Structure 1
Amino acid sequence: VNSAEIVQMAGEGVEQLETYFGRYLSQFFYALLAPLTLFLILSRIELQTALLLLLAVPLIPIVIMLVMLVAKKLLGHYFAIYYGLGDSFLEKLQGMTTLKIYQADQVAAEDMDREAERFRKITMKVLSMQLNSTSIMDIIAYGGAAVGILSALQHFSEGSISISGVFIIILLAAEFFLPMRLLGSFFHIGMNGMKASDKIFAFLDLPEAEEGSKVLEAEKLHISIENLSFSYEESRQILHSVNVEIPAHSFVSLVGVSGSGKSTIAGILMGKNKGYRGSVKINGEELKEFSSQSLLSHITLIGHRSWLFQGTVRENLLMGKSSATERQMEEALQKVNLLSFIKAQGGLDMQLLSNGSNLSGGQRQRLALARALLHDTPVYIFDEATSNIDAESEEMILQVIHDLAKRKTILLISHRLANVVDSDSICMLKNGSIAEVGTHQDLLARDGSYAELFREQEELEHFSETQRKEEKIHEEE
């Protein structure tokens, strides 16, 4: 389910649901009880007239149901455009920075104008339909009241009803129909609420993925991946019969170009990507048999977009280990060369903005790594953890990874091959399959896909370094 739909459902959807239960349903029950109550009162005065008024009341909901049948297609189209407009608006709002960068905001605004105009037109059609149905309901309501009044006058002329009884019927005849008539005017609110409830309850009723109940207790974890296949969609398979061995306390790297399936494997190991085919075993037992809580307490994932929450540095670090002492937190910050900076900014009580936006990209990643170190799990997965950061932070993070590899199991995922040369084993992914496995020297000697990609990156980095030196010399001159 996309994020735009969730946001719209949690905001406007819940608001419509509240209106549905607070206004529409209360009016619905009132519209049922009011005519029955009035019938009981007026039947003591004149039964035939009261019965006539009561029998005319159901004509209004019959009109409503007929309108719904006729307008079903129109309403379906209306809600499709309505929710589509909300999704489109939220998506463009989330991507506003990108739109500005590429100067595409004007085009996006024009798209929104066209969508808004489509919504205006379909809304006018729905309101026109409602107006027509309201006119019919008015005719029934006031026509039914008139019939009741005429019936009362006839019985008065026959002498079967008193003058006070006639006045009571005249005053209350319209009240038979007005609650149901008002319910008809709430038709739009009711439809919005029902549609919102359908979406919310359909979301809440989505089946939960089956989860195991076994608990991981060993500190040394041997991970074995055999014939692993995975696809996000039936037509787009990401992994094809992947085989990888990650022994306990080993340093294994997954490399390959973007889209080769590296992060998908990390998601499977973390229990996020369900529905894989093949076998993923931890210490000889299938991954699916373990509870997610057990997996997360033994495997830590550090990605290139680890989130930092608004609050203090202390609060963010305590997420890694709630019982961590101040000394332990400072030691973790020292390992990522961030302690002196944090102390200069107020220490562990330094305030962070949402996602650490008052830190540089490298500082954010190093703080996320310090939090991960406090988590202290047997297995660490680094998924492009050194992407899009400065060279100093990249070097620092790689040093921490190599230190961790001496006592932990490390799975390093990287598109930059220079980062994985010291790995115990390197698995080269290509088009969702393992193309080569071996140490850095072995793979270079084979002169295959790994060696070709390594040379390409080396030449590119050498060219970039030469360019930087030339620019520096030119600036100095």
Structure 2
Amino acid sequence: RTQVEHLRKYDRVGVRFEESLKGLNTLKIFDADREESKRLAKDSEGFRKATMALLGGQLKSLIGSDVVIYTTVILATVFTALLTSGQTTGWLLSVAVAVTGVRLFIPSRQLVYLTHEATVGLKHGKAIAKARELREQQHQDAPHTRMDADTRKNAGIPEDEGLRVEHLDFSYPNGHHALHDLNFDFPQRGHLAIVGSSGSGKSTVAQLLSGRTGGYSGSMSFDGTELRDWDALRFIENVTMVRGSDHLFKGTVRSNLDPTNLGISDETLIQALERLDLMDLVNARGGLDSTVLAGGSNFSGGQRQRLAIARALVRPSRIYIFDEASSAIDREHDRVVSALMDDLARHSLVITVTHRLASIINARNIIVLDHGEIVDSGDFAALLSHQGMFAQQWEEQDSVESDVDGGTRPHSFTPEAQEAIA
């Protein structure tokens, strides 16, 4: 049993490493990669030490038992030979004692293995109990990331100084020129959408704004400070990014919503799930401690994306970036996500990068990219009236989705949007 448990521990370390590797980008977004690395290093080192202790102890015990067993058999044989030295059958008795000793005592070596494994198993049990206690003591409060009005005023930051992009250019190391002279401004709060066909550069803008990619030319600033001057911690404290491919880890709903073990309250976790219409699903599976398989394989694609969005909601941020975060979400829940974006935009800057135009109808400003250039911008109604690339894409998508939905549009449009569509 101890050997099996030992191998299972090794298997868990390997599986955890593989899963962490697959979800490395997600771990980095939530600043959980360093903590996960420490946990993996601790587990791996613990396994190495346990293995060496197990093998070393078995070897010592085996050598010791062999010495005792063979010495005892030899002494018994010699003693028998001395006692029967004057008898004609003395040598037969000596052989009989030797054979009997080997047959009876050599199998006791297995008992040494079993005894040692039981001892190691008890040690492992105590170590696991201690580790669980330490983990419960490591909960910390989530970092406070917002600056109050007085702090902003003392720092000389204008209240309306938001996102400013000037003459932004970016090329990848392979020479691909992804962005060409982008210029736009947006306030600290509100919903900004970036749309365009595949390869237009919209995800590149998201990567630059989140700090995941650097090396741009031109200027990108928020709160009057250049983004290239931000360190990693500042991005982590102020920017939350959600992508459609974000990873769910093997564990529970709770551990996925709070990957850094900050001890976020159940009330906060439940509120995030309710905002994504997930609470009924989670309750049906056993609540916050219900099982999540590796990669979230026991959830549908849309459910995985909504869980990833819920994870973003539990950490207050000044900037939320959603990069194709709802690409697999069904039409019914797409309305829920759209309403959530509008609600978040009341207090934060929400940037939605998407190809699904129905999800950004109420965005305050929409930037249309084509081959790395801004070809149009404005709100939804204005872009439709321009009869450009955006209007063409909308007509194509709306025709397909209206057919699927039986001629109905399941979104709540603003009066301006309704008038533009009509």
TM class, shorter-chain normalised?
0.5 to 0.7
Residue 353 of structure 1: how far off its partner (Å): 0.7
Which letter does structure 2 place at the counterpart of 1:372? A
For residue 415 of structure 1, what is the aligned residue in structure 2? 355
For residue 333 of structure 2, what is the aligned residue in structure 1? 393
Which letter does structure 1 place at the counterpart of 2:376? E
Q: 2: CA distance between counterparts of 1:354 and 1:450?
A: 38
Say whether 1:376 aligns with 2:316: yes
Residue 373 of structure 1: how far off its partner (Å): 0.4
Of 205, 215, 234 in structure 2, the residue corresponding to residue 294 of structure 1 is 234
Which runs of 5 or more residues in structure 2 are unaligned? 1-21, 23-143, 149-158, 409-422
1:376-413 Cα offsets, whole Å, 9 max, x none, are 11111111111023223322222221221222211111
Aligned residues: 255
Which letter does structure 2 place at the counterpart of 1:364? R
User: Whose helix proportion is higher, 1 or 2?
Assistant: 1
Q: 2: CA distance between counterparts of 1:313 and 1:466?
A: 35
Question: Pairwise mapping of residues 298-309 of structure 1 onto structure 2 (< 5 A)?
Answer: 298-309=238-249
1:463–1:314 distance in 2 versus 1, CA, 3 Å: closer
Question: Pairwise mapping of residues 323-334 of structure 1 onto structure 2 (< 5 A)?
Answer: 323-334=263-274
Query: Root-mean-square deviation (CA), in Å?
Result: 2.4
Say whether 1:435 aligns with 2:375: yes
Which letter does structure 2 place at the counterpart of 1:239? L
1:347 aligned counterpart, secondary structure: coil
Q: 2: CA distance between counterparts of 1:371 and 1:321?
A: 12
1:277-322 Cα offsets, whole Å, 9 max, x none, are 1111111211111111111211111110111111111111113771
For residue 208 of structure 2, what is the aligned residue in structure 1? 268
For residue 217 of structure 2, what is the aligned residue in structure 1? 277
Q: 2: CA distance between counterparts of 1:458 and 1:467?
A: 10
Higher relative contact order (CA closer than 8 Å, sequence separation 6+): 2
Of 297, 304, 327 in structure 2, the residue corresponding to residue 364 of structure 1 is 304
For residue 173 of structure 2, what is the aligned residue in structure 1? 233
Q: 2: CA distance between counterparts of 1:467 and 1:282?
A: 42
1:240-299 Cα offsets, whole Å, 9 max, x none, are 111122211111110111110111011001111111111111112111111111112111
Of all paired residues, the percent bearing the same amino acid is 36
Q: 2: CA distance between counterparts of 1:388 and 1:335?
A: 18
Residue 459 of structure 1: how far off its partner (Å): 2.7
Which letter does structure 2 place at the counterpart of 1:435? V
Which runs of 5 or more residues in structure 1 are unaligned? 1-93, 95-214, 469-477
Question: Pairwise mapping of residues 12-411 of structure 1 onto structure 2 (< 5 A)?
Answer: 218=147, 222-319=162-259, 322-411=262-351
Residue 223 of structure 1: how far off its partner (Å): 1.2
Q: 1: CA distance between counterparts of 2:230 and 2:189?
A: 21
Q: 2: CA distance between counterparts of 1:346 and 1:304?
A: 25
Q: What TM-score does the superposition give when structure 2 sets the normalisation length?
A: 0.57
Q: What TM-score does the superposition give when structure 1 sets the normalisation length?
A: 0.50
Q: 1: CA distance between counterparts of 2:163 and 2:396?
A: 32
1:428 aligned counterpart, secondary structure: strand
1:383–1:320 distance in 2 versus 1, CA, 3 Å: farther
